[in-house]
Amino acid sequence: MGQQVVREGQYLAVFNSTHRVLKAESLLKSSGLPIMLIPAPRAVQANCGLAIRFDEEHQDVIMELLTVQNLLPAFLCQFINNNFVTIREYQHENH
């Protein structure tokens, strides 16, 4: 797996739509944020199987940007003690 490993304390924003996750990735990268698009780990498998990984210190600005742009993920989880803990689920319309 190499660099696709999620480290302790990192967050994953898991998406149900490939279209949305790619738009979110583009938005965050163009804002200069250090994120990585990775295959969603089996433990948190979503419909499209993609997630955006980022460090804890960037969580606030990333989630704010995704909120403003209406690109919230299906859910946000954090890797704690070798487990993916769901921090928040987002109910939103996929239009």
pTM given for the model: 0.88
Q: Which residue range is the domain that position 25 belongs to? A: 2-89
pLDDT in tens, 11-60: 999 998 999 999 999 999 999 999 999 999 888 876 778 999 999 999 99
Q: Are 14 and 74 within 8 A, CB to CB?
A: yes
Q: Are 26 and 32 within 8 A, CB to CB?
A: no
Is 50 part of a structural domain of the chain?
yes
Judged by phi (left if over 0) then psi (alpha if -120 to 50, else beta), residue 9 lies in left
Is 94 part of a structural domain of the chain?
no
Q: What's the confidence (pLDDT) of residue 1?
A: 42
To which H or E segment does residue 63 belong? helix 59-68
Total tally of structural domains belonging to the chain: 1
Q: For residue 20, how far is the Cα from the chain centroid?
A: 11
pLDDT above 60 (res 4): no
Residue 17 belongs to a domain with what CATH number?
3.30.70
Q: Which amino acid would we find at residue 1?
A: M
The DSSP call for residue 87 is: E
Is 95 part of a structural domain of the chain?
no
